Amino acid sequence: MVSPFSREANQQSFSVRTAAKYALNAAKNAGSSGAHINVQNAASSDHKTGANSMGRIKVVYKVFPEDVVDSFDDMKKQIGGCLPKDSEVEGYGEEPIAFGLKALLVQVTFPEDETGIVDKFETDLEKLSGISQVQTVMVRRTSR
């Protein structure tokens, strides 16, 4: 009869051996990989061009109007007018909600190095006339 304690000890020693084997293989693979980076490329943020450019933050907002609107042209002008410095609108879209109500989707890029710029812009959007609510749908970092 085998005691349950010896079975647990065998399972643990097997796990330890397996983990050590994987760590050893990973170290061998890392040492033999062909991905060598020279000092100039390591210092640059853009390995392809060598330029030190900051990334950008892309945000998609869903802007809900106060009432049913036929055209979002006036709202687009207002949004363009409250953009922070070095930010730009990359595109607009429309999403049907219900009963003829549509939301305006706005994709904006912001500089990565300014703290709080995304939240401030969302707050500024909510203050515009004709807008009832603003939702952040997506936030991601990009190198462009």
In this structure, are 12 and 82 located in the same domain?
no
Q: What are phi and psi of 32, to 5 degrees?
A: -100, 5
Single-letter residue type at 33: S
pLDDT tens for residues 80-115?
999 998 899 999 999 999 888 999 999 999 998 888
Asked if residue 17 and residue 76 are part of one domain, the reply reads: no
29/96 same-domain check: no
CATH code of the domain containing 110 = 3.30.70.60
For residue 31, give its domain range.
Answer: 4-36
25 lies in a domain?
A: yes
Co-location of 66 and 103 in the same domain: yes
Structure confidence at residue 114 (pLDDT): 83
